[in-house]
Amino acid sequence: MNQTNLKLMNDIPALLKSEQTVIVDVRTPGEFMGGNVAGSINIPLNEIPQHLDEFKKMKQIVLCCASGGRSMQASMFLKQNDIECTDGGSWVNVNYYKNN
């Protein structure tokens, strides 16, 4: 793991404790209904382009999904559209960091 990834992993617990952070789960609605981080919102990966204005209003964004693949894609897309965000990877890990 490089220094940048290590720093991001260390920043995620602090980000998740902030009231300004919005956790966005990019899994499908069915996956989201099967379990999610309390307080997170569900915007499926394929719907992200339609929600850019909504994302621009968010102060701090942590993205998550099942294993980290879709949240990485969402993170890259948002950054290409000048929206700052953090890829939190798996929702299970984000849930752990948020609650511990």
Task: Summarize pLDDT for 58-69 with one digit per residue, the tens.
Answer: 999 999 999 999
Domains of the chain, with CATH numbers? Answer: 3-99 (3.40.250.10)
Active site positions, annotated: 65
Write down the pLDDT at residue 53. Answer: 97
Q: What is the DSSP letter of 83?
A: -
Percent of the chain scoring above 90 in pLDDT: 80
Specify the pTM: 0.90
Name the band, by pLDDT with cuts 50, 70 and 90, for residue 1.
very low
Amino acid (one-letter) located at 27: R
Q: Convert the pLDDT of each residue in 69-83 to its tens digit.
A: 999 999 999 999 999
What does the alpha-carbon distance between residue 65 and residue 88 come to, in Å, rounded to a whole number? 8
